Amino acid sequence: MPENNDNFDKYTPFFSASSSQLFLQKCYTQEKIAEAEIKSYDNCYPFIYHLEHAKTYYNQAAIAPLSIQPILTFYGFSQLLKACLLTVDPNYPESTSMLAHGVTTRKKKKQQYEFLKDEVKTQKNGLFTCIAEKLFHIKHLEGEKYSMGTLMKEIPDMHTWSISKKNFVALLPSSNGFQLPSSILDSYQMSSSRLEEFLKAKTNQIYSISEASGTLHLKTEGVPIHNATSPIRYNLAEGQFMLSLNKDSSAFSLPELLIHYLISYNLSIIARYETEWWAELMKTMPNDDYPCIVQFLKISQAKVPFLIFEWIKSERFHI
């Protein structure tokens, strides 16, 4: 069976030592890192190897049985994140604590366990903490708990899934920005002026909101960022930005990459250590857990490489 390379086609220019060295030098110069040229030479091959390793994991996940897909997907994801970290920190990893996952979950699941109700808890050190701080400048997430259902609801590609009410509304392109139905005000329980103030604080991308003929017009500058700390998220399957309606969610403004990481971590733990429950789920399919997990894996295997590339190539340079 041929490898599924589609998700990594955009990465092809990086599979060159000279191209990666020049790219890393540009990154380090922007970060005002001393000896940018020397460090870019030191890291160009580790950078390439992380990307190559990630590509191998994702290609294998695409053709692997469902039983081991979460493990391959999570390890591929981790390799992509390590490549990202090398673009902002030439000394990564500076300590062994950075090599931990940065998140934990209950290893032994309770009786009547349901995946969507399961929780993960963030830790002080590890990969999750590194990417939150170094890629997204988010601190103080230690000890935060997130349920799988809460996290799933913040992935716009899953907004048609029946785990809850509708969670997103599409941002339809218009002159100087986007438009939304005025019914969004009922969902947020806000006036248009209050919603404008709220979204300005949450996104740094919405500049004004006006209302006319049952439609809200959102004036923005340029296209929203795919990896922002914002409730505006990109639906890859439908090719459009969408606004989350879950304003009271603990994950409302988390960058989507962090959301995928937390879910992927937990699924990899289940596939590795909860063999009996995992096998029973795939055989009996007793509730919404099975189709929800299958849908997430399909979405994440396509979307994570896309989001990572957007961050590496465009958004870190504000292009």
Q: What number is the average pLDDT over the span 136-151?
A: 91
Q: Over 60: is that where the pLDDT of 319 sits? A: no
Q: Which residue, 306, 302, 189, 163, is CA-closest to 245?
A: 189
CA distance linking residue 132 with residue 258, whole number of Å = 7
Count other C-beta atoms under 10 Å from residue 162's C-beta.
Answer: 9
Q: Which residue, 138, 154, 139, 253, is CA-closest to 199?
A: 253
Q: Which residue, 315, 293, 256, is CA-closest to 88?
A: 315
**Beta carbons of 129 and 141 less than 8 angstroms apart:** yes
CA distance linking residue 199 with residue 206, whole number of Å = 6
Q: What per-residue confidence (pLDDT) applies to 93?
A: 86
Per-residue pLDDT tens over the stretch 164-199? 568 899 999 988 889 999 989 998 999 988 998 888
Q: What per-residue confidence (pLDDT) applies to 1?
A: 32
Q: What number is the average pLDDT over the span 275-287?
A: 85
Band (108; pLDDT cuts 50, 70, 90): low
Q: Over 70: is that where the pLDDT of 111 sits? A: no
Lowest-confidence segment of 1-5, 124-128, 154-158, 231-235 by average pLDDT: 1-5
Per-residue pLDDT tens over the stretch 226-269? 998 889 999 998 999 999 998 888 999 899 999 999 999 999 99
